Structure 1
Amino acid sequence: MAEITAKMVADLRAATGLGMMECKKALVEAEGNMEKAEEILRIKSGAKAGKLAGRTAAEGVLAYAVEGNAGALVEVNCETDFVAKDAGFLAFAQSVAKTAVAKKPASVEELAALVEEERKAVIAKLGENISVRRFQVIETANSLTAYIHGAAATEGVLVEFKGAEDVARKVGMHIVAAKPQCVSEDQVDAETVEKERHIYTQQAIESGKPAEIAAKMVEGRIKKFLAEVTLNGQAFVMNPDQTVAEFLKANGAEVVSFVRYKVGDGIEKKEVDYAAEVAAAAKV
Structure 2
Amino acid sequence: MSLLRALRLCLVARPRRCPRRGLGPSSDLPFSVMHLPLPPTPIRLHPSPPPPSLPLRGPALEGPLLLQSPEPWHSFHAGRWLSSSASSKELLMKLRRKTGYAFVNCKKALEACGGDLKKAESWLHKQAQKEGWSKAAKLHGRKTKEGLIGLLQEGNTTVLVEVNCETDFVSRNLKFQQLVQQVALGTMLHCQSLKDQLSSYSKGFLNSSELSELPAGPETEGFLKDQLALAIGKLGENMSLKRAAWVKVPAGFFVGSYVHGAMHSPSLHNLVLGKYGALVVCETSEQRADLEDLGRRLGQHVVGMAPLSVGSLDDEPGGEAETKMLSQPYLLDPSITLGQYVEPHGVSVVDFVRFECGEGEEAAEAE
TM-score past 0.5 threshold = yes
Q: Distance in 2 between matches of 1:76 and 1:149?
A: 16
Partner residue of 1:215?
none
The whole-number CA distance in structure 1 between the counterparts of 2:205 and 2:353 is 17
Residue 356 of structure 2: aligned partner? 262
> SS of the residue aligned with 1:226?
helix
Cα distance per residue 1:61-82 (max 9 Å; x no partner): 1012222332221111111101
- Structure 2: distance between partners of 1:73 and 1:106: 9
Does the alignment pair 1:45 with 2:115? no
Q: Is the 8 A contact 1:83 1:89 kept in 2?
A: yes
Counterpart Cα distance in 2 of 1:248 and 1:119: 41
Structure 1 residues 28-67: aligned runs within 5 Å: 34-35=108-109, 43-67=130-154
The answer on whether the counterparts of 1:183 and 1:230 sit within 8 Å (CA) in structure 2 is: yes
Q: In the TM superposition, what is the alpha-carbon distance from 1:137 to its structure 2 partner? A: 1.6
Cα contact 2:205–2:244 (8 A) shared by 1: no
What per-residue deviation string (whole Å, max 9, x for no partner) do you get for residues 84-113 of structure 1? 111121122122122212203874222212
CA contact (8 A) 1:17 1:125 kept: no
Amino acid at match of 2:108: M
- What is the DSSP-based 3-state SS (H/G/I as helix, E as strand, rest coil) of the residue aligned with 2:325? coil
- Contact 2:129–2:229 (8 Å) recurs in 1: no
Show CA shifts across 1:9-38 (max 9, x none).
x968756546xxxx59xx5xx8x9532695
Partner of 1:132: 241
How far apart are residue 169 of structure 1 and its match? 1.0
The answer to whether the aligner puts 1:150 opposite 2:284 as a matched pair is no
Question: 1:236 matched to which residue of 2?
Answer: 330
For residues 336 and 180 of structure 2, the distance between their equivalents in structure 1, rounded to whole angstroms, comes to: 37
User: Relative to structure 1, is the Cα distance of residues 5 and 169 closer, same or farther in structure 2, using a 3 angstrom cutoff?
Assistant: same
RMSD: 3.3
Q: Counterpart in 1 of 2:158?
A: 71
Structure with higher Rg: it is: 2
Contact between 2:205 and 2:246, CA under 8 Å: does it hold in 1? Answer: no
Counterpart selection for 1:118 from 215, 227, 234: 227
Could you tell me which amino acid in structure 2 is paired with residue 244 of structure 1?
A: L
1:18-29 paired onto structure 2 within 5 Å: 23=102, 27=104
Q: Is the aligned partner of 1:82 residue 2:169?
A: yes
C-alpha distance in 2, partners of 1:85/1:96? 16
Indicate yes or no: 2:234 matched with 1:160.
no
Task: Give, as a single letter, the amino acid of the residue that structure 1 aligns with 2:133.
Answer: G
Gaps of 5+ in 2: 1-71, 79-91, 113-122, 192-203, 215-223, 263-272, 285-290, 363-367
What does the per-residue CA deviation read over 1:114-138, in whole Å, with 9 as the maximum and x for residues that have no partner? 2112212211211111211111222
- Kindly indicate whether residue 351 of structure 2 is the aligned counterpart of residue 247 of structure 1: no
Larger mean Cα displacement after TM superposition, 235-244 or 104-113: 104-113
| 1:139 aligned partner, one-letter code | K
Partner secondary structure for residue 327 of structure 2: coil
CA distance in 1, matches of 2:277, 2:211: 20
- Structure 1 spans left out of the alignment, 5+ residues: 189-221, 269-284
Give the alignment's TM-score, normalised by structure 1: 0.67
2: distance between equivalents of 1:7 and 1:66? 48
Q: Which residues of 2 match residues 164-203 of structure 1 at below 5 A?
A: 164-184=291-311
User: Secondary structure at 1:148's aligned position in 2?
Assistant: strand
Return the offset for 1:46.
Answer: 3.1
CA contact (8 A) 1:71 1:139 kept: yes
Q: Work out the CA distance in 1 between the residues paired with 2:96 and 2:152.
A: 31
Equivalent-residue separation in structure 2 for 1:7 and 1:243 (angstroms): 71
Structure ranking higher on relative contact order (CA contacts 8 Å, 6+ apart): 1
Distance 1:15 1:97 in 2: 22
Over residues 217-249 of structure 1, what are the superposed CA-to-partner deviations in whole Å (9 max), with x where a residue is unaligned?
A: xxxxx8512331111001111111211111111
Cα 1:94/1:86, change in 2 over 3 Å: same
Question: CA offsets, 1:136-157, max 9 Å, x none?
Answer: 2222322113211014711110
The TM-score, its normalising length taken from structure 2, stands at: 0.53
CA distance in 2, matches of 1:41, 1:106: 30
CA contact (8 A) 1:72 1:138 kept: yes
Post-superposition Cα deviations, 1:192-227, rounded to whole Å, max 9, x if no partner, equal: xxxxxxxxxxxxxxxxxxxxxxxxxxxxxx851233
Amino acid at match of 1:249: E
For residues 235 and 304 of structure 2, what CA distance do their matches in structure 1 show? Answer: 32
For residue 227 of structure 1, the aligned residue among 311, 321, 330 is: 321
Residues in 1 aligned to 2:98 and 2:76: alpha-carbon distance in whole angstroms: 14
